Amino acid sequence: MAAATGTLRRWAVVVAGTAAICALPAAVAAWPVPASALSAAQLRTRIELSARVPYQGYAESDVDLNLPSLPDLGNVVSLLDGTTDQYAWYRSPGQWRADVLTAAGEDDTYQTKVGTFTWNYTSNLLTQILGSQPVRLPRAADLLPPALARRLLSLAGRAASFSRLPSQRVAGLDAAGLRIVPTSKLTTVGAVDIWADPATGLPLQVEVFGRGAAAPLLVARFLDVSLTRPALSTVTPQPAPEVGYTSTELPDVSRILNQFGPPLPDQLAGFARVANPGGLADVAAYGSGLARFVVLPLPQSTGSAAMSAAKSVGASIKITGGTAELIQASLLTVVLVSVPGGLVYLLTGAVTPIVLDHAATALLDSY
Amino acid sequence: MIGVELVKLARRPRNWVSIVLLCALPVTVAIFVAVTHLAPPPGQGPALLSAVLSDGQLFPAAALAIVLPIFLPVAVAVVAGDSIAGEANAGMLRYLLARPVGRTKLLAAKLVALIVYVLLAVVFVAVTSYVTGRLLFGSKPAAVTSTGITTNNVVATSLSGTALTPTDILLRTAGTVAFVTVSMLGVGAIALFLSTMSDSSLGAALGALAALITSGVLVALNSASAVSPYLPTRYWLSWVDFFRQPILWRDIDRGFAIQAIYVLVFLGAAWANFASKDITS
Amino acid sequence: MIVTTQLTKRFGHVLAVDHVDLTVREGDRYGFLGPNGSGKTTLVRMVLGLVYATSGKIEVLGEPVPARIAHVLPQIGSLIESPSAYGHLSGRANLALIDAAGTGPGGGRRGRRARIATALDRVGLSGVDDRAVRKYSLGMRQRLGLAAALLRSPRLLVLDEPTNGLDPQGIREVRDLLAEINAAGTTVFLSSHQLSEVEQLCTRIGVIDRGRLVLQDDLARLRGPTGRVIVRSPDADRAAALLDGRVADRDADRLVVADSDAAGVNALLVSAGLRVTEVTEERRSLEDLVLSVTGSGSDRIDGGSAGRPGRPAEVASRDGAGT
Ligand SMILES: Nc1ncnc2c1ncn2[C@@H]1O[C@H](COP(=O)(O)OP(=O)(O)O)[C@@H](O)[C@H]1O
Ligand SMILES: [Mg+2]
């Protein structure tokens, strides 16, 4: 009997201890977060001005756009459909580094005063990207919460309504929430929620919701962050002797863009072209706020491959003057249209299909 | 009592056989890689194995990566599963306890002996693979960096593309040894707990391995991502973070912490079960 | 030395030890007798703190067990059910490990070698070589187990079936050894299912049957005179006539006389000119006594008429085992 009560007491101690350990994360999460007194406008301004706030931290983005895989876009598709873990060191807009971490390697991007470098462990290659990049494909660093939040804010511009969300804890910091609801009915984005450090405005978590969706299609957040300035040596490439070195211009888009397509018009189906000083003449973005789409010409080979890939996953739509392929992903809409002369145009953006339908028609018209 | 357990550990031929087998696996891999010069491409296969062709000094870390997923945990589960159940089977448990050896003390001594065993195994693997690596792959002579600086003390490249000096490699390999050792303690604690539950060493070892395999499957399963940070194998592979520049401590710290929690919980459970159990073996 | 009060142990449905009040006094050579499966080992394990009682109290060396077990055990040497050792190590290495394992006084590194040598010597293994215990004979293992029990010169020896596996010569040696140790002041508690072993060594016995202590007394008292005298005489007929009325039983030349005074009977017969071959007080037979208070071994599983023939009913009957 004595033994039985002793056993019970011991098990009680162990079970209670285990429960306490297991409950710890939940308890920390449930611990009330002090509300921030900032208004939505104040918070928004702070976030917009946070580009100079240094930080280093571990971020995870979880994107679920259900994009079909298109040839030559593999990297982008995996970025926009799945989980990306990266560690970022950010000193200033011109000096930062972001490492995409994989189980047995990494893909790093360095931004230095000299230029942009990428390091790929698999190919043992450090690549310098020469010149400015007027156009480029999305890269992992774009999904870091601060970069993504500021970009979405600037895209949304004034064509959205802003409101405060209750504060929540992100990576151990109390973060003030801001909700952005686009006013335009033409975008597929229902809302964008941003949580930022109220003192510095540094965005810590971003969630993008589809129209009417309860669960976010994109979540980018810090799992660990410290608002300290990383050492300069950390954000400067220091290749080992064995490392190969190369340099390139427009590393990603050069492969898939036809740089010799005809210049694009200033207006497309009533949407104004977004000013992009120094940009390429044949790549353009149209629209305003989050209701915005890009038009890019694909070279013959990529274009026809993309076309046939789209045919198998998308829906053909009839437009005046020809046909186009429509791919409707969770947030993004993609339309591929062939124009006379063999060129294939890719139109994509977080817009409703009807927008791209009209744009494709207008594009065909211009030929 | 700890001394007694260490003597028993050292005088048990089986333990040495398992360590020799553990050391033999990376050596075998090294021989194949050295003969064929075909390492898995970087970023695939066991971490860092691709890098050893250019320098043998990274081989200890690669060797640990080879034994970490299966071989080492199996050996640890067998040794830990045997700790109490094996004594019961040999009929020695009753004599030890009647000596008297306090039951809690016996558990603690078994845990210490287990830690020493894992450490021995890991260090032996590291040392033999260092020797193997130097013999089969050699070490790099002085070289000139792309920036034109002569570096006569740079021998390998980190995952971040930066240079690692021999001192770097030594320290980081030591970190890996510590991390891999600690990574095994969670399994060890589970097997130790099961060893107090059953008089069958094999049953205890298999139970712990079943727990490990379940953990491994869940870690790989996206839909189980909510629980994965709490699984014993979740941070096993995080030792590669020692070979990034700068070292990413986040997952390494978490790996240490999660193992500490598993040891605490299962040692507690072992204690609760064993402290007032009827010894009828 | 050992006092249990209403000690009970239940393994699920099995009542292994059932309200046992056992008393072992200092200096006793206590024989704990019982058929296989009667609960001897279970009781020994409870005394040593290995098994926890379901109810009841145990006091060993004046201290409550299991509460103060760590205090008590260093003064006890034990052999439980069968000797055990690490098979891959030598006998000496085993003893060294066991000696180093314990807590309590007298277990230091200094003197370990001497302690081991003494213990081996006492059990007759002084010449043992370095071969692994795995290669020992059963008898050698038994001796090694005894040596382990004797390592720290205990005040109390608790031995569960210590002569299992020994040859008659070995049994005798162990008996002599235990008598010698007892003479030097160590209390010996020995459990056995062999009556003869207990009878030859012990001063006091307890008999357990199906978990119940059915008898406990000094051997001398149990084997005391029955109050009758056995007379052997070639003149049995005349003797019977002379002792008329007092002859309880007769078998040829052997008479059982209902008289407790052997000398008186002898004088009476001799004075009548009768020849007397032998006159002895009749003493109780331990075997009969034990059989009369115990049932059949509880390891027997008799299945009604299909079972093997049991012992004679008057002996096997549990009703006779008054407690
Ligand atoms: N661990 C156990 N679980 C269940 N029953 C047990 C256990 N140990 C002993 N018993 C039962 O208790 C009874 C007494 O066993 P034991 O003390 O070993 O007897 P003995 O030593 O006199 O031969 C037996 O009926 C046996 O079956
Ligand atoms: Mg027994």
Residue B124 lies in a domain: yes
Residue C282 has pLDDT above 90, yes or no: no
* Pair A302, A178 in one domain: no
Residues B12-55: pLDDT tens digits? 999 999 999 999 999 998 888 888 887 777 666 677 777 777 77
**What is the distance in A from the centroid of ligand 2 to the CA of C39?**
7
Residues A155-184: pLDDT tens digits? 888 888 999 999 999 999 999 999 999 998
* Pair A203, A275 in one domain: no
**What is the distance in A from the centroid of ligand 2 to the CA of C177?**
22
Residues C120-161: pLDDT tens digits? 998 989 888 889 999 998 889 999 999 999 998 899 999 999
Query: What pLDDT shows up at residue A196?
Result: 96
How many CB pairs (< 8 A) connect A and B?
116
A104, A121, A224 ranked by CB distance to B161: nearest: A121
Residues B48-70, mean pLDDT to the nearest whole number: 84
Residue B281 lies in a domain: no
CA distance A293 to A348: 5
Residues A205-251: pLDDT tens digits? 999 999 888 899 999 999 999 999 999 999 999 998 878 898 887 65
* Pair A89, A109 in one domain: yes
Q: Residue A104: which residues within 8 A CB-CB, separation 6 or more?
A: B42, B43, B44, B45, B46, B47, B48, B159, B237, B240
* Pair A102, A207 in one domain: yes
* Pair A273, A182 in one domain: no
Residue A36 lies in a domain: no
Residue C57 has pLDDT above 90, yes or no: yes
Name all contacts of B249-257 with Cβ < 8 Å and 24+ positions apart.
Answer: B250/A58, B250/A223, B250/A224, B252/B175, B252/B179, B254/B229, B255/B179, B255/B182, B255/B183, B256/B179, B256/B182
Residue B218 lies in a domain: yes
Residues C160-189: pLDDT tens digits? 998 887 888 889 988 999 999 999 999 999
Domain containing A172: what range?
Answer: 50-248
Residue B120 lies in a domain: yes
Residue A76 has pLDDT above 80, yes or no: no
Phi, psi of A366 (to 5 degrees): -70, -10
Task: Tell me which chain C residues have a C-beta less than 8 angstroms from the C-beta of A4.
Answer: 52
Domain containing B231: what range?
Answer: 2-276
CATH of the domain at A243: 2.50.20.10
Split at pLDDT 50, 70, 90, the class of A74 is low
Residue A273 lies in a domain: yes
* Pair A224, A267 in one domain: no
Split at pLDDT 50, 70, 90, the class of C318 is very low
Residues C266-285, mean pLDDT to the nearest whole number: 87
Q: Which of A196, A214, A248 is the last residue of a domain?
A: A248
Residue A38 lies in a domain: no
* Pair A198, A84 in one domain: yes
Residue B178 lies in a domain: yes
Split at pLDDT 50, 70, 90, the class of B153 is low
Mark yes or no for CB contact B154/A87 under 8 Å: no
Mark yes or no for CB contact A239/B162 under 8 Å: yes
Residues A288-292, mean pLDDT to the nearest whole number: 88
Q: Which of A248, A265, A300 is the last residue of a domain?
A: A248
Residues A333-349, mean pLDDT to the nearest whole number: 85
* Pair A296, A311 in one domain: yes
Name which residue leads in pLDDT, A258 or B156. B156
Atom 24 of ligand 1: nearest residue by CA position: C37
Split at pLDDT 50, 70, 90, the class of C2 is very high
* Pair A61, A176 in one domain: yes
SS (H, E, C) C126-149: CCCCCCEHHHCCHHHHHHHHHHHH
**Left, alpha or beta for A13 (phi > 0: left; psi -120 to 50: alpha)?**
alpha
Domains and CATH numbers, chain C: 2-222 (3.40.50.300), 226-283 (3.30.70.100)
B8, B102, B278 ranked by CB distance to C97: nearest: B8
CA distance C271 to C115: 63
C84, C100, C104 ranked by CB distance to B95: nearest: C84
Split at pLDDT 50, 70, 90, the class of C311 is very low
* Pair A195, A215 in one domain: yes
Residue A120 lies in a domain: yes
Q: Which residues pair with C5 in a beta bridge?
A: C57
Q: How many independent structural domains does chain A possess?
A: 2
Residue B152 has pLDDT above 60, yes or no: no
Q: Where are the alpha helices (DSSP H) in A91-215?
A: 145-156
**What is the distance in A from the centroid of ligand 2 to the CA of B52?**
61
The number of beta carbons lying within 10 Å of the beta carbon of residue C82 is: 16
- Enter the tokens of residue A333: 């809409």
Interface probe, candidates A58, A84, A89, A106, chain B, greatest B C-beta count within 10 A: A106
Residue A4 lies in a domain: no
Residues B226-233, mean pLDDT to the nearest whole number: 91
Residue B114 has pLDDT above 60, yes or no: yes
- Enter the tokens of residue A188: 């597929």
- Enter the tokens of residue A110: 């360095």
Query: What pLDDT shows up at residue A342?
Result: 74
Residue A17 lies in a domain: no
CATH of the domain at A287: 3.40.1000
Instruction: Choose among A144, A150, A168, A143: nearest CA to A225.
Output: A144
Query: What pLDDT shows up at residue C59?
Result: 95
Query: What pLDDT shows up at residue B148?
Result: 45
Report percent pLDDT > 90 for chain B: 65
Residues B205-223: pLDDT tens digits? 999 999 999 999 999 988 8
Cis amide leading into B100 (omega within 30): yes
Residue A35 lies in a domain: no
Residues A25-54, mean pLDDT to the nearest whole number: 91
* Pair A81, A212 in one domain: yes
Does the reported pTM lie above 0.80? yes
Is C149 exposed, middle or buried, given 0-12, 13-18 or 19+ CB atoms closer than 10 A? buried
Residue B229 has pLDDT above 70, yes or no: yes
Chain A residue nearest residue B146, CA to CA: A241
Q: How many independent structural domains does chain B possess?
A: 1
Report percent pLDDT > 90 for chain C: 46
Residue A90 has pLDDT above 90, yes or no: yes
Residue B85 has pLDDT above 90, yes or no: yes
Split at pLDDT 50, 70, 90, the class of B142 is very low
* Pair A204, A126 in one domain: yes
| R_g of chain B computed on alpha carbons | 21
